[in-house]
Amino acid sequence: MASLFAGEPNEIDQESKQCMQKRTFGIIAVAIALTITLYDVQLDPDFSLPGEIEQTDAAQEALYMQCYELRDEQIHDTAFATIDNPDVQKEFINTSRARAASECRDEYPQQLVTVRRPFRLNLVDLHARYW
């Protein structure tokens, strides 16, 4: 009798392990299928080590763009208020824009700032398909 009871727990443990393995495999398979169905999965291996990079200063560029847009608006107002010929308007706007870009760049020169880049590892990109 003792040998009969000694064998039962091992059989139950084996069956429960197999059942748990099947259940785990099924859950993983369903999760993968849902991910592939709901998302556009793209393999995108991207790896970068930490370091320092130089980028343009966003605040300085915003000031430059603000200056340029203000002058561009003035250029258009002048062109449409004083010039009737569309070809001359176009030429005036193009040359004045180049001058305005140069003048604004002189006022707000491009500045580089050092930015620390962290370690990055990207293997998969997910993009939602339905929302």
- Phi (first) and psi of residue 57, to 5 degrees: -70, 120
Q: Are 25 and 74 in contact (CB under 8 A)?
A: no
Among the ranges given (8-12, 32-36, 99-103), the one the predictor scored with the smallest mean pLDDT: 8-12
Domain count, the chain: 2
Domain that holds residue 24: 1-51+120-131
Q: How many Å is the maximal CA-CA distance in the chain?
A: 112
**Position 102 in a domain:** yes
Q: Supply the angle between the helices 58-82 and 86-107 in degrees, to the nearest 10.
A: 150
pTM over the 0.75 mark:
no
1 lies in the same domain as 34:
yes
Is residue 39 exposed (0-12), middle (13-18) or buried (19+ Cβ within 10 Å)? middle
**Position 46 in a domain:** yes
Q: Which tens digit of pLDDT belongs to each residue from 62-112?
A: 999 999 999 999 999 999 999 999 999 999 999 999 999 999 999 999 999
% of residues, the chain, pLDDT over 70: 91
2 lies in the same domain as 41:
yes
**Position 81 in a domain:** yes
**Position 115 in a domain:** no
